[in-house]
Amino acid sequence: MHASRPPRARGFRLPAVRLGVTGMEYRFHEIEKKWKKRWEETGAHKVREDSGKPKYYCLDMFPYPSGQGLHVGHWRGYTISDVWSRYKKLQGYEVLHPMGWDAFGLPAENYAIQTGVHPAVSTAQNIANFKRQLQEIAAMYDWDREINTSDPEYYRWTQYLFVKMFEKGLAYRKRMPINWCPSCKTGLSNEEVVDGKCDRCGSDVTKKEMEQWMLRITAYADRLLADLDRLDWPDKVKRMQANWIGRSEGARIVFDVDGHPDARIEVFTTRPDTLYGATYMVLAPEHPLVATITAPEQRQAVEAYVQETLKKSAIARQIVDKTKTGVFTGAYALHPLTGRKIPVWIADYVLMDYGTGAIMAVPAHDERDYDFALAFGLPVIRVIEPVPAEGTNEGSPAGGGAALAGGLELGAAAAEGAGTADALPYTGPGRLVNSGPFDGMDNEAAKQAIVAELAKQGRGEAAVSYRMRDWVFARQRYWGEPIPIVYCDQCGTVAVPEDQLPVRLPDVERYEPTGTGESPLAAIESFVRTTCPKCGGPARRETDTMPQWAGSSWYFLRYPDPHNNREPFSREAVNKWLPVDMYVGGVEHAVLHLLYARFFTKVIHDLGMIDFDEPFQHLFNQGMITLNGAKMSKSKGNVVNPDDIIRDYGVDVLRMYELFVGPPEEDAEWNANGLEGVSRFVNRLYRLFMAHAEHPAPPRDSLRRLRNRFLATLNERMETFRLNTAVSAFMEYVNALSAEADKGLDRETLETLAVTIAPFAPYLGEELWERLGHDYSVFESHWPEVDERWLRDEEVEIAVQVNGRVRARLKIPADASEEQALAAAAAHPEVAGWLDGKTVVKRIYVPGRLVNFVVNG
């Protein structure tokens, strides 16, 4: 808990307290109230489609409106994006900076199960509270464009997009094992399984075979990977997505099964070069061939093992200690090139949903296969021998280029390395042995050669596999978009036609699952029973709903045209505003949301509905705010409520502190003293400004110089997104102006201050701007230009070093020649002492920076 502070009197002091004749107290509550009202009246935050200005789309990741409300950690991202939006507006852009609600989701449904309050009701309440809190931020959201994913007028179009995918074959049904909670009697998504237990009740999660709606995201794997290159995103996020997609190149190889002429085992491998080292095969326990090929005497053991595996959840199967288990099927595969008999096993270290669900095991060159072979006494055949690469000489301190010297050391290095490189399993590069016609071949070349030979015989081909799986798109939950599909005995699986959308979520009495693994919708007869859109005969509705990720996968396309009731968006509006220029949000969505949104965008592009195929040009991940080193959360009891801070310090101070707290992309610890410091600064700025606003002084060079330097510094810090140092720049500038203030401040200094502070502290910016006599909003003005002339000095101070140590500082003309600078430096009395009696062997001059004399003796 943060130190609770006594309520401050500052904000509540009512009479205008005059502080001498020069200034007034900064009464933020009055100022906030005044400008809030004015913005409302003038429609200050409405986007003007016809302004003719260049567009800028600055988007926040829209929140799930939880019952917890916002804390100061949430404020950080919203502040960053709003400062950026306002900055862009002052630079002359028409800025779209919208906000909405990712309003479907499990918490509302769980709340309904506990209390019976309809999710629509609790969600509406939460949205009202969130909206109130978000309006406190003073962000320039255009609330006319508010989006709610649980609104039928919105999810109608989510369903529409699903239908389009269904028509394209991108949405399909598949029977597969999913996570299953035997106590809650419901299927669970991976997110709902924590450490192998049900997030709701804590029971051990098992697996259950169920029909699932899937989206064929793997069809886009290549493009999702390749197009990352075009994005201006943090490397970390790109890397996470690339890892998630997990492309690997290799080969698909077909093995015949001895005594089963119809059975063929297909494997995927990245190491076709090790084909001659395959000493056994492994099928995933769920593999369809298991039932076919298992020998009668092994059947009992195999079935027992399969049952045991199915009991484990995917999670439990992964967090085990990796001890290898498995059972021999009694069947033998035939090596595609030698015809050698290879025993076929099943083991849970082979996963059904990666590759082909079967592998050729090469224990000599794969750690997992080696462990398994060791555990079950299977043979190990070495087929790759390490070869000391020529020309490399890692031990040489001189680095590359010393090929001859390296060659001489080669013998010793090879002998030394041989002992370790001989050990199995060996996964490095080398030369083939025990591989028939391929012996002696480099293993990389052998990959090609062996695949070519297999292809010639029709027993294999080059192949690419992805770690990423297709997207399980069905949930057995109430509070989500109904999947718009109807099952007809005559016509089969039929999509609900466009003109019958939305399929509305009906009211239900009970939100608990039905017990059959179906969603609560299955219990509503009036919902389930329908007529087939094709033949008009009796039909049943799909009762599963979409996952929470559905609505957020395209919401950014809706903001440009949020009230369109004929289509999800007009092509023209979306092509005008998209791609999003700046997307601000937490890194926790690095993979799921951002990958799904990219996938949807590409699909929508391929449907011909939009011209671009990447939604977010620039992504920025803000760091979290921590308190006592931990992420803020109500359950941990370490939240700071923004309402309290606003009451005591005002909105502008909180905004500036959210930036000043640290580099925006890094986590930062909340510190009440730091907030106090920012508050002091804002008050100092206000007093300084007010002391001179009535009667500005005539301009003078020292102020011009300060102003232009400040602007140049600020611009640089804005453009590099170092917003914490941008706040520092204001502090430095105000400190410098304070030192000059006894001679007065000119009007341009004051105007610059008012305009540049406005994105950070919009209320204060407006107030100061008005105080200078303007009768229009500061945000209708322009970000000031830098006059380069004032950035140059006639005189610069340089450091004079002797042997790299600073011995004196010296002012010289900025345009001094090297000779002049060196002469002046050598003549400096402090320096002369250090040069006395020494020989100067080298002189370095870095213009505007320093002189260095290298001496010896």
| Contacts of RNA in 361-380 (CB under 7 A) | 366, 368, 371
Stretch that binds RNA, among 46-54, 568-576, 609-617, 677-685 (CB under 7 A): 677-685
> What's the closest the beta carbon of residue 56 comes to RNA, in angstroms?
25
> What's the closest the beta carbon of residue 357 comes to RNA, in angstroms?
6
Residues 298 and 291: their CA atoms lie apart, in Å, by 11
114 or 673: CB nearest RNA: 673
163 or 228: CB nearest RNA: 228
> Per-residue string for binding with RNA, 630-669, x by CB under 7 A?
-------------------------------xxx--x-xx
Q: List helix spans (H) across 246-400.
A: 289-293, 299-311, 314-319, 367-376
Q: Which residues have CB under 8 Å from 660's CB, separation 6+?
A: 674, 677, 678, 724, 727, 728
Stretch that binds RNA, among 47-55, 319-327, 499-507, 533-541 (CB under 7 A): 319-327
Residues 446 and 28: their CA atoms lie apart, in Å, by 75
> What's the closest the beta carbon of residue 270 comes to RNA, in angstroms?
4
740 contributes a contact to RNA by CB under 7 A: no
Q: Which of 22, 51, 490, 803 binds RNA (CB under 7 A)?
A: 803
295 or 799: CB nearest RNA: 799
The closest alpha carbon to 476, from 853, 796, 210, belongs to 210
The closest alpha carbon to 729, from 653, 665, 659, belongs to 659
> What's the closest the beta carbon of residue 674 comes to RNA, in angstroms?
5
6 or 261: CB nearest RNA: 6
Angle, CA of 679, 683 and 687, to the nearest 5°: 170
In the region spanning residues 707 to 726, those forming contacts with RNA, defined by CB under 7 A, are 722, 724-725
In the region spanning residues 461 to 520, those forming contacts with RNA, defined by CB under 7 A, are 465, 467
381 contributes a contact to RNA by CB under 7 A: no
The closest alpha carbon to 344, from 366, 359, 324, 362, belongs to 359
Q: Which of 732, 740, 748, 793 binds RNA (CB under 7 A)?
A: 732
Stretch that binds RNA, among 111-119, 298-306, 426-434, 804-812 (CB under 7 A): 804-812
246 contributes a contact to RNA by CB under 7 A: yes
> What's the closest the beta carbon of residue 807 comes to RNA, in angstroms?
6
Stretch that binds RNA, among 156-164, 200-208, 217-225, 791-799 (CB under 7 A): 791-799
250 contributes a contact to RNA by CB under 7 A: yes
62 or 670: CB nearest RNA: 670
Q: Which residues have CB under 8 Å from 425's CB, separation 6+?
A: 363, 364, 365, 366, 367, 369, 370
By CB under 7 A, the count of residues binding RNA is 80
610 or 703: CB nearest RNA: 703
Residue 376's SS3 state is helix
> What's the closest the beta carbon of residue 68 comes to RNA, in angstroms?
20
* 8 Å CB contact between 503 and 541: yes
Stretch that binds RNA, among 37-45, 60-68, 349-357, 402-410 (CB under 7 A): 349-357
DSSP letters spanning 55-107: EEEEEEPPPP--TT---HHHHHHHHHHHHHHHHHHHTT-EEE---EE----HH
> What's the closest the beta carbon of residue 318 comes to RNA, in angstroms?
4
DSSP state for residue 8 in the 8-state scheme = P
Q: Which of 244, 487, 612, 790 binds RNA (CB under 7 A)?
A: 244
> What's the closest the beta carbon of residue 348 comes to RNA, in angstroms?
6
The closest alpha carbon to 801, from 855, 838, 848, belongs to 855
575 or 724: CB nearest RNA: 724
Q: Which of 671, 699, 740, 774 binds RNA (CB under 7 A)?
A: 671
274 or 519: CB nearest RNA: 274
Stretch that binds RNA, among 49-57, 78-86, 295-303, 794-802 (CB under 7 A): 794-802
Residues 366 and 840: their CA atoms lie apart, in Å, by 63
Q: Which of 74, 97, 271, 335 binds RNA (CB under 7 A)?
A: 271
> What's the closest the beta carbon of residue 518 comes to RNA, in angstroms?
28
Residue 806's SS3 state is strand
463 or 557: CB nearest RNA: 463
* 8 Å CB contact between 553 and 496: no
Stretch that binds RNA, among 57-65, 444-452, 565-573, 798-806 (CB under 7 A): 798-806
239 contributes a contact to RNA by CB under 7 A: yes
564-573 contacts, C-beta under 8 A, 24 or more apart: 565/153, 567/157, 568/157, 568/160, 568/161, 568/609, 569/157, 571/609, 571/610, 571/611
731 contributes a contact to RNA by CB under 7 A: yes
410 contributes a contact to RNA by CB under 7 A: no
427 or 564: CB nearest RNA: 427
* Dihedral sign of CA atoms 834, 840, 842, 846 in order: positive
Whole-number Cα distances in Å, 839 to 802, 808, 822, 856: 11, 19, 15, 6
The closest alpha carbon to 496, from 156, 169, 211, 149, belongs to 156
In the region spanning residues 555 to 614, those forming contacts with RNA, defined by CB under 7 A, are 587, 591
Stretch that binds RNA, among 92-100, 130-138, 237-245, 516-524 (CB under 7 A): 237-245
Q: Which of 91, 129, 396, 728 binds RNA (CB under 7 A)?
A: 728
* 8 Å CB contact between 469 and 174: no
Q: Label residues 510-541 b or e (16+ Cβ within 10 Å = b).
A: ebebbeebbbbbbbbeebbebebbeeeeebbb
177 or 562: CB nearest RNA: 177
> Per-residue string for binding with RNA, 321-340, x by CB under 7 A?
-xxx----------------
672-693 and 762-771 are packed helices; what angle lies between their axes, rounded to 10 degrees? 10
> What's the closest the beta carbon of residue 178 comes to RNA, in angstroms?
15
533 or 674: CB nearest RNA: 674
**Phi and psi of 295, rounded to 5°?**
-75, 150
13 contributes a contact to RNA by CB under 7 A: no
Residues 624 and 668: their CA atoms lie apart, in Å, by 6
Diameter over CA atoms, the chain: 109
The closest alpha carbon to 498, from 148, 164, 152, 149, belongs to 164
In the region spanning residues 807 to 846, those forming contacts with RNA, defined by CB under 7 A, are 807, 809, 842, 844, 846
> What's the closest the beta carbon of residue 572 comes to RNA, in angstroms?
38
The closest alpha carbon to 227, from 213, 209, 245, belongs to 245
Residue 192's SS3 state is helix
168 or 680: CB nearest RNA: 680
> What's the closest the beta carbon of residue 724 comes to RNA, in angstroms?
5
What strands lie across the sheet with 529-531, from one edge to the other? 492-495, 485-488, 538-541, 529-531
The closest alpha carbon to 671, from 660, 685, 684, belongs to 660
Q: Which of 65, 98, 285, 355 binds RNA (CB under 7 A)?
A: 355
Q: Which helix (H) or strand (E) holds 592?
A: helix 592-606
Q: Label residues 139-174 b or e (16+ Cβ within 10 Å = b).
A: bbbbeebbbbbbbeebbbbbbbbbbbbbeeebbeee
**Phi and psi of 38, rounded to 5°?**
-65, -40
Q: Which of 797, 815, 818, 819 binds RNA (CB under 7 A)?
A: 797
311 contributes a contact to RNA by CB under 7 A: no
